[in-house]
Amino acid sequence: MKAEGRRQRAEGRIRAVVLGLVLLAFWALAVVVSGTKIFPSPMDVVRGLLELARRKLLWAYMGDSLFRVACGYLAAVAIGIPVGLAMGWWSSLARAANPVIQMLRPISPLAWMPLAVIWFGVSNLAPIFLIFLASVFPIIVATMNGVRNVPPMYVQAGRNFGLSTRALITRVLFPAILPRILVGLRIAFGVAWLVLVAAEMIAVDSGLGYLIIDARNAGKRYDLVVGGMLLIGLLGLILDTLIRRAETLRAVRWAFHE
Amino acid sequence: MKVHFDSIGMRFGGVRVLDDINLSVNAGEFVCILGPSGCGKSTLLNIVGGFVTPTEGRVTIDGEPVTGPDPRRIFVFQERGVFPWLTVEENIGFGLFRQKDDEKRARIARYVQLVGLQGFERSYPRELSGGMKQRLEVARALAVDPDVLYLDEPFGALDSITRLQMRRELLRIWQAERKTILFVTHDIEESVQLADRVVVLSARPGRVRRVVDVNLAHPRDLSDPRYIALRDEIFGEIGLAHQI
């Protein structure tokens, strides 16, 4: 069974690589056939990125972007999980707070950008704030729904064995909802990454979002525009894979694997 | 007298689900509470378990009124009550947080053995069959050495063969551990196979229609005319002819 699964995964990976190569070839061919002077070929993009690396900007930009996402996202985790726990546990609190949250949630974090600039100026804090806003709501909602969907008999059994409220939360409630929190964290991360790039186009002068907007404005360097896009995609993929790794941890594996 | 129900009545909103329930259960006795669905028998068990406060009357255990759940008396749900994030041994050890490590290990080993889950100590509930999960939940309850077990249709979700095996297991465990057992079921055969006494409740609002003594020694012979007579008596009491 396990060997079978490994083989299937290996085959899947090979297919993914092949598809990637085919798309790259198609891109290269399309640039040649169309004779475009603006759109870069794959090699132009690689050269552009190498140049960026020589100017020591590549790692700096990636580092800045990751730093901003880490700050905003971790702040959202630190606030979103306790708030979600409280709202799931006390339904009166949820009834009061939920309409506000559901109203704020559909507002794109980008709509907050003018306010973020007024409040935080042109600084790291503005994109961090936007990332926080983007990721905190999915985390709150996932945690709250997690608490509400805990089968009541788990809590009953915990109380029956004489657990204090604190032990009930740490030994029953939290492990029971951890898988749902994890799913919320993953969704929130996706949104945070989307918002980061847009946020960096406005308020700051470094990072991958800035790279794209700056490359276009200062000299129509479309090789760097496309290079920036690909880097964003690649980093997003890597980080998402890391988060998915968490689903195999012992504490949550019970909910993800049959 | 271990558990005493004193004129228990229960209403949910305007609906009366239990009416004037009086019942005494002796220490070490196995009592089945039998009734049609919706007669309030699970509510009655939740009241004695301390999870629900009755609107009338009170329950006392060893003379003390029940005010909430208590680890001396453990409630066993259908097998869904085991914690899926804990292994078999972690589930059994769940209630043993007051014990020292040696004591905890010894008890886990003992109850793994008692319910026949050797070799599955490190398995997770999802890797177990329904019957094994049910045995696990019973083991988790017994590990804290309660005086009383409350079982709420514990075998309802199992297939009929497993259910018969589980009844035999439960009787074996009961005879080994001599706990007081209150067992809620809607299955007439099950109640006559297991109980010292069967408390027959009426349809809503639940009232005690009849208490039937089952004076048959274990193991019970299911073709014994006295078994059949008792069973048919209860069928008649519930208003069912024993024919299809």
Distance separating alpha carbons of residues A212 and A228, to the nearest angstrom: 6
Asked if B71 and A161 come within 8 Å (Cβ–Cβ), the reply is yes
Report pLDDT for A219. 78
Beta pairing partners, A171:
none
CB pairs under 8 A between A and B: 54
Q: Containing H/E element for A3?
A: helix A2-34
Burial A41-58 (b: 16+ CB within 10 A, else e): bbebbeebbeebeeeeeb
B33 Cβ contact partners less than 8 Å away, ≥ 6 residues apart:
B41, B44, B45, B182, B183, B184, B185, B199, B201
Residue B84 at interface with chain A, using a CB cutoff of 8 Å: yes
Asked if A160 and B69 come within 8 Å (Cβ–Cβ), the reply is yes
Residue B125 at interface with chain A, using a CB cutoff of 8 Å: yes
Of A157, A171, A178, the CB nearest to B81: A157
Which residue out of A150, A154, A155, A161 would a mutagenesis test of the B interface target, given it has the greatest number of B Cβ atoms within 10 Å?
A: A161
Map chain B to HEC letters.
CCEEEEEEEEEECCEEEEEEEEEEECCCCEEEEECCCCCCHHHHHHHHCCCCCCCEEEEEECCEECCCCECCEEEECCHHHCCCCCCHHHHHCCCCCCCCHHHHHHHHHHHHHHCCCCCCCCCCHHHCCHHHHHHHHHHHHHHCCCCEEEEECCCCCCCHHHHHHHHHHHHHHHHHHCCEEEEEECCHHHHHHHCCEEEEECCCCECEEEEEECCCCCCCCCCCHHHHHHHHHHHHHHCCCCCC
pLDDT in tens, A161-179: 999 988 998 899 999 999 9
Residue B124 at interface with chain A, using a CB cutoff of 8 Å: yes
pTM above threshold 0.90: no
- How far apart are the CA of B81 and the nearest CA of chain A, in angstroms? 6
Burial A82-103 (b: 16+ CB within 10 A, else e): ebbbbbbbeeeebeebeeebee
Residues of A in contact with B74 (CB under 8 A): 160-161
Residues of A in contact with B99 (CB under 8 A): none
pLDDT in tens, A102-138: 898 888 888 888 898 889 887 889 899 999 999 999 9
From residue A243, alpha-carbon distances to A112, A127, A232, B85 in Å are 27, 22, 16, 19
Residues of B in contact with A163 (CB under 8 A): 97
Residues of B in contact with A172 (CB under 8 A): 83
Across the beta sheet with B148-152, what order do the strands follow? B73-76, B148-152, B180-185, B30-34, B197-201, B208-213
- How far apart are the CA of A249 and the nearest CA of chain B, in angstroms? 11
Asked if A157 and B126 come within 8 Å (Cβ–Cβ), the reply is no
What does the block give as tokens for A48? 């552009």
| CA B3 distance to own-chain centroid | 14
Report pLDDT for A257. 67
Answer whether A251's CB lies under 8 Å from B86's CB.
no
Report pLDDT for B241. 61
Report pLDDT for B207. 87
Report pLDDT for A172. 93
pLDDT along chain B (244 residues), means of 10: 88 89 92 88 91 92 91 85 93 92 92 89 91 90 91 86 86 88 92 92 87 88 88 82 59
| pLDDT value at A258 more than 70 | no
What does the block give as tokens for B139? 């083991």
Report pLDDT for A22. 95
Asked if A175 and B83 come within 8 Å (Cβ–Cβ), the reply is yes
Residues of A in contact with B79 (CB under 8 A): none
Distance separating alpha carbons of residues A113 and A73, to the nearest angstrom: 17
pLDDT in tens, B10-40: 998 888 898 899 999 999 999 999 988 878 8
Band of pLDDT at residue A159, cut at 50, 70 and 90: very high
The chain A residue lying nearest B70, using CA atoms, is A160
Of A160, A176, A253, the CB nearest to B71: A160
The chain A residue lying nearest B142, using CA atoms, is A161
Query: In degrees, to the nearest 5, what angle opens at C-alpha A151 toward C-alphas A149 and A154?
Result: 135
The CB density around residue B232, as the number of other CB atoms within 10 Å, is: 15
Answer whether B89's CB lies under 8 Å from B82's CB.
no
Asked if A153 and B77 come within 8 Å (Cβ–Cβ), the reply is yes
